[in-house]
């Protein structure tokens, strides 16, 4: 398991939609086939793996499955699945650029209450700097079952390793 430094975030840096629990996320033991990102209490998980389908443009997408387990006054869990292109996956983790730019007029109203976003791909993610949110269906604001992830370097490195391993496999075929 990757060791994680405790991070002291200035409240001004955290957008209102970002949950502080996102600072406790880390990349679990790496695999060449998938990346698992979990929080220290085991109440939030993200699994990322490649899904092959010859009907898809390019022949594959990256599947991001997430789950939040409620251990308070709520029982149960919230879960979701989204399919990302390689470019969307890179950008969601702050490793490339795609999607709607911050100046997009559609986002203006939401930006006023959310503290702003650098980039968004609708129904998949939005990110501001190293603050990533994977939204549940709904408004995407705080107190909804959205998954927040602070993009520590080890998480970003694991995404790059996953993509690099995949490219090596594709070259052999």
**Domain-by-domain residue ranges, the chain?**
20-166
pLDDT at residue number 171: 60
**Least confident range of 24-28, 66-70, 114-118:** 114-118
**What pLDDT was estimated at residue 34?**
86
The label of the residue with tokens 């700097």 reads 129
**20-33 tens-digit pLDDT:** 888 899 998 767 78
Contacts with 71 (C-beta within 8 Å, 6 or more apart), sequence order: 41, 43
Mean pLDDT (whole number) for 25-53:
86
Backbone angles phi, psi at 48, to 5 degrees: -125, 125
Number of alpha carbons in the 13 Å side-chain half-sphere of residue 97: 4
pLDDT for 4 beyond 80: no
Q: Which residues of 123-132 are buried (b: 16+ CB within 10 A; e: fewer)?
A: ebbbbbebbb
pLDDT at residue 109, rounded to an integer: 44
**94-121: average pLDDT:** 56
């Amino acid at each position: 398991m990757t060791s994680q430094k405790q991070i002291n975030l200035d409240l001004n840096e955290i957008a209102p939609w970002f949950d502080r629990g996102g600072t406790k996320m880390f990349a679990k033991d790496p695999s060449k086939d998938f990346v698992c990102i979990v929080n220290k209490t085991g109440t939030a998980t993200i699994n990322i793996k490649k899904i092959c389908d010859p009907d898809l443009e390019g022949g594959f997408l990256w599947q991001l499955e997430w789950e939040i387990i409620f251990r308070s006054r709520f029982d149960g869990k919230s879960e979701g699945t989204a399919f990302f292109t390689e470019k969307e996956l890179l950008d969601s983790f702050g490793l490339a650029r795609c999607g709607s730019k911050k100046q997009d007029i559609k986002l203006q109203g939401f930006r006023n209450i959310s503290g702003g976003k650098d980039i968004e791909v609708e129904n998949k993610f939005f990110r501001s700097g190293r603050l990533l949110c994977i939204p549940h269906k709904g408004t995407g604001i705080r107190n909804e079952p959205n998954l927040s992830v602070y993009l520590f370097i080890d998480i970003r490195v694991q995404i790059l390793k996953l993509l690099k391993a995949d490219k090596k496999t594709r070259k052999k075929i």
